[in-house]
Structure 1
Amino acid sequence: MPPKIRSRKGFTLVELLVVIAIIGVLVGLLLPAVQAAREAARRMSCSNNFKQIGLAIHNYHAAYNQMPQQGSGTGLAIGNPYETPGANEYRLSFLVGITPFIEQQAIWEQISNPYQTTGGTFQSMGPLPSLSLAEYNPNPYLPWITDIAGYRCPSDPGRGLPSMGRTNYAACMGDANHTTIEGETYRLNSSALNNAARLTNVGIAARGAFVYRKKMAFRDILDGLSNTIMCGEILTDLGDRDIRTTPANAGGRTTAQWSAGGILRCRAPGFIDPERPRFWTATQAVEASSEERRGSKWMCAIVLYSGFHTMLPPNTETCFHGNRHQEYIASTSSHHQGGTHVLMGDGAIKFITDSIDAGNSNSPQVKTPDQAGVLAAGSESPFGLWGSLGTRANKETISSEF
């Protein structure tokens, strides 16, 4: 009688290893595609957020015949706004004004009807970011430390402390950084002559769609809404010495910052780590205090928090020149591959690559002729297509796609 042929059950060890190896290869091939698909979805979501901000600005303009002001608010007080009840020294960003137009009516009601904190101190300006909530203010003004989903790009991993109230969307302040003077007509301790000189300089140098503490309207954008950047995307600081989010100190407030090569002062030896060019060196005197963090206060109109310039191209360094209210060199930035989103004046969303023509980075800036070597009023932007897109009324139109 022939022997019974027994059927083999299961797999041999070799077969299992082969199957596992095949699965591992397939996962290795598919994982980059999955990650790319996820980033594409995040990028689309970011673009949609920006589109909503553009619609909000247009709806605001339709309601009030002006754009939301970058540097608005209450109180004409001299000194520290934290010490003056109800005063915020006109530092509120354009993002505050559009909250009712992005379905944030509840937070707008709190802002427009400010309250006293439990400690009895009127918190209209809000707390300073720090390492813990209790350290910087045991009674914080909650609207200012609230993260609004519509102001956040999903590709930005920054969440919570050491910053609170983050934003990834900022106002275009033009192609010169001497444009956000803290004085102007709102500081009563300056002489009339000093105020007049400051206002003259702002009128010459502030060439962006937004001008600090000045009411702006679409009629002021003479180059055309489709030719002018209104807002741009920025990263928020993670506390990791990223050159795009933690400003390096260029050595104090001097006239050299507006002259030839002034915007490149933070590229001197010892600033950027040559082996890791996206980070400052460990020995560099980085302004890493809790106050100096890019995108850390959506409610504040100072350039570091909610503004940018079109001088250096996207994803370049943020450089601090001495005055925390005006002298930052800060461009757009993002975690998207190869560039950043911008919002044009007509509401269109464009993706600007890091390689956009940014002209001569060694050029001086436009400024009042109170020093040698600066560019005169009305000069063509020296910062190429990027600079031209950032100016609103310089007779620069764009004839092709970018």
Structure 2
Amino acid sequence: MIIDRLQKNVERWQTARHFYSLFSFFSFSGRLFMKTSFERRGHLKVRSGFTLVELLVVIAIIGVLVGLLLPAVQAAREAARRMSCGNNVKQLGLAFHNYHSAYNKLPMQSGGTYFGKLNGPNGSGTNSGGTSRTDGNNRYRASFLIGLLPFIEQQAMWEQISNPLADGATPSWPAMGPAPWTTAYTPWMTELKSFRCPSDPGFGAPAMGRTNYAVCIGDGTHRVDTGYANFDGGNNRWYSQGSVAMANRGMFANRGQFGFRDVLDGLSNTMMGGEITTDLGDRDARTAPMGSGGGYGWATIHNASPVHGCDEHLNPDRPQFWGDTAPGVMSGNQTRGARWADGAMIYTSFSSIRPPNTPTCLGSGDSSSGQSSVSSRHQGGGHILMGDGAVKFITDSIDAGNQNSPTPYNADNDTTAPMAGAQSPFGIWGALGTRAAKEIIDTEF
């Protein structure tokens, strides 16, 4: 029985294979005959490639795809640049901590070399110093970045600066360099990758060596230019300024030095540094400071009431830029971050008064008191560096408290200003900038 079934199945399979072979043969023969016949008659022409319409359709499709994908590609690139920028801030944080481990204090902002002594009100000295080789000092204007050089793998640059620099001319440049605005001194003109944010397109002249990173000097404006020591030209002497301690409440203050032990608010609650953007020559209010003649003079900048007083000079149609009639707008290498070696506020410091990406306003020239916040080319905020080394991205909308309040100042005739030890009037942003005002930050920022 089983054998019969197998034989029938074999016969069926052979019959099916036979018919399939015949069908394939006639099908192939028919196609070959028709192809040969039509080719002989010239009715069939074998062609290859695209027609014009097909080509245009393909190009249109590709164009649409590029248009859809390009914003995503640009966003991905900016995300990578922002990540790299944040990594640079992190590396600076490690450098600060390594410096502190070595010296038990943070590097001085606006320190360096000078003639004479700083012995308080009776200290004698001279303000000599400048751009020539024979002046012998950098006018006590060296930024904190110079001291960090050995801790960010820039030992070669540090050796050039810390020793007399022979460049073929005589005499050699003095150790620690001349004034930081000296364009003939090569180290001051050198741009270091560690100090630049990839998102900032600013490059080269008229700036000197640019930087995108600065330190926080707190929520005050009084004497943030001279800091703890100033030069009295009339009496040819350096003198200390006790009132500075009342108003310069950040982890850094010009010509003063602090350590982690001085940060009573806690390293995780206090800003050590942050990001700034450099000028592109377009009158950007963040990067081109408005100074003398701007209606934001010496008395106002010391009391800074209100702190947004210079906003009236902004372009109403483009509020990120100064209006055409705004007076005293600086340019060239007197702009934000234009000199990495200069300790003046607009070059390597920022205050925690106004929120990120707000205008920079000075009392007079580029080295005067004023206020300038964190700024960046990123969308909606900028990076800050906390005292414990953490890097955070702060948005422009962070709580900045009462923007009509005066800044902390201990003047006897100013009874409205917050006194020494008072909590910052500028909200969470102001509290992040003070090192020992006993603010409690109980919210995420």
TM-score (norm 1): 0.91
The C-alpha deviation readout for 1:340-378, integer Å capped at 9, x for no partner, is 000000000000001101111111010012333322222
For residue 137 of structure 2, what is the amino acid of its counterpart?
A
Counterparts of 1:225-304 in structure 2 under 5 Å?
225-249=267-291, 250-251=294-295, 253-259=297-303, 261-268=305-312, 271-304=313-346
1:98 is paired with a residue whose SS is helix
Deviation, 1:172, is 0.2
User: What is the distance in 2 between the residues matched to 1:76 and 1:182?
Assistant: 16
Checking the alignment, whether the CA contact within 8 Å between 1:168 and 1:236 is kept in structure 2 is yes
- Cα 1:6–1:28 change in 2 (3 A) is same
Q: Deviations along 1:265-299, whole A, 9 cap, x unmatched?
A: 2112xx11111111111222243243421101111
Q: Is the 8 A contact 1:43 1:154 kept in 2?
A: yes
**Which of the two has higher C-alpha Rg?**
2
What residue ranges of structure 2 are gaps of 5+ in the alignment?
1-33, 117-125
Q: Which amino acid in structure 1 is aligned with residue 38 of structure 2?
A: P
Structure 1 unaligned residues grouped into runs of 5+: 130-136
Q: Distance in 1 between matches of 2:370 and 2:342?
A: 15
Structure-1 separation of matches of 2:417 and 2:365 = 19
Out of 123, 148, 153, the position equivalent to 1:103 is: 153
Residues 1:79 and 2:127 are matched in the alignment: yes
SS of aligned partner of 1:397: coil
Q: Give distance in 1, aligned partners of 2:115 and 2:297.
A: 26
Structure 1 residues 89 and 316: alpha-carbon distance in aligned structure 2, compared to 1, 3 A threshold: same
Q: Is the 8 A contact 1:259 1:363 kept in 2?
A: no
Query: Hey, what's the Cα distance between the residues in 2 that align with 1:27 and 1:292?
Result: 41
- Matched with 1:363 is 405
Contact 2:129–2:179 (CA under 8 A) maintained in structure 1: no
Higher relative contact order (CA 8 A, sep 6+): 1
Whole-angstrom distance in 2 between the partners of 1:260 and 1:108? 38
CA contact (8 A) 1:200 1:368 kept: no
**What is the rounded CA distance, in whole Å, between the counterparts of 1:279 and 1:111 in structure 2?**
37
The answer on whether the counterparts of 2:221 and 2:301 sit within 8 Å (CA) in structure 1 is no
Q: Secondary structure at the match of 2:346?
A: helix
Q: 2:88 is aligned with what amino acid? A: N
CA distance, structure 2, for counterparts of residue 243 and residue 110 of structure 1: 35
Partner Cα separation in structure 1 for residue 180 and residue 386 of structure 2: 32
Structure 1 residue 323, shift from structure 2 partner? 5.2
Query: What is the CA deviation profile of residues 5-38 of structure 1, one whole-angstrom value per residue up to 9, with x for unaligned ones?
Result: 3333221211111111110110011101100111
The answer to whether 1:379 aligns with 2:414 is no
Residue in structure 2 matched with residue 88 of structure 1 by the alignment: 138
- 1:63 pairs with 99, 102, 109, which one? 102
- CA drift at 1:116: 5.2
Instruction: Tell me how far apart the structure 2 counterparts of residues 350 and 256 of structure 1 sit (CA, whole Å).
Output: 32
Q: Which residue of 2 aligns with 1:39?
A: 78
Distance 1:260 1:240 in 2: 26
Distance (Å, rounded) in 1 between the aligned partners of 2:70 and 2:147: 42
Q: CA deviation at 1:192?
A: 11
Q: Which residue is 1:52 aligned to?
A: 91
Match of 2:38 in 1: 3
Q: Which amino acid aligns with 2:58?
A: V
Matched residue count:
389
Q: Alpha-carbon deviation of 1:260?
A: 6.2
Deviation at 1:184, TM superposition (A): 4.5
The 3-state SS of whatever aligns with 2:408 is coil
Q: Could you say what secondary structure the match of 1:171 adopts?
A: strand
Q: Measure how far apart 1:159 and its partner are.
A: 0.6
Cα 1:397/1:191, change in 2 over 3 Å: farther
Deviation at 1:167, TM superposition (A): 0.3
Q: Deviations over 1:157-210 (max 9, x none)?
A: 0111000110000010000122424275453646799945xx222110011011
Q: CA deviation at 1:57?
A: 0.5
Kindly tell me: are residues 128 and 186 of structure 1, through their superposed partners in 2, closer, same or farther at Cα, counting changes over 3 Å? Answer: closer
1:325 maps onto 2:373 in alignment: no
Query: Counterpart of 1:175 in 2: which secondary structure?
Result: coil
Q: Which whole-Å CA distance do the structure 2 matches of 1:260 and 1:143 have between them? A: 36
Moved more, 390-399 or 347-356: 390-399
Tell me if structure 1 keeps the 8 A contact 2:227–2:256.
no
Query: What residue number does 2:27 align with?
Result: none
Name the SS of the counterpart of 2:115 in structure 1: coil
Whether 1:391 aligns to 2:434 is yes
In structure 2, give the amino acid aligned to 1:366.
P
Q: 2:211 aligns with which of 157, 167, 172?
A: 167
Residue identity opposite 2:181 in structure 1 = L
| Other-structure match for 1:132 | none
Over the residues paired in the alignment, what is the CA RMSD in angstroms? Answer: 2.3
**Who is 2:444 aligned against?**
401
Which one of the candidate residues 139, 144, 150 is aligned to 2:188?
144
Aligned to 1:133: none
1:342 aligns to 2:390 (yes or no): no
Instruction: Please say if residues 228 and 345 of structure 1, whose CA atoms lie closer than 8 Å, have aligned partners that are also in contact.
Output: yes
Could you tell me how far apart the structure 2 residues matched to 1:260 and 1:253 are?
A: 10
Q: Deviations over 1:61-87 (max 9, x none)?
A: 000111111122111353352166221
Change (3 A) 1:224 1:321: same
Sequence identity, in percent?
A: 52
The verdict on how the C-alpha distance between 1:356 and 1:185 changes in structure 2, with shifts beyond 3 A counting, is closer
Distance 1:313 1:183, change over 3 A: closer
1:30-54 Cα deviation digits (max 9, x unpaired): 1011001110111111111111110
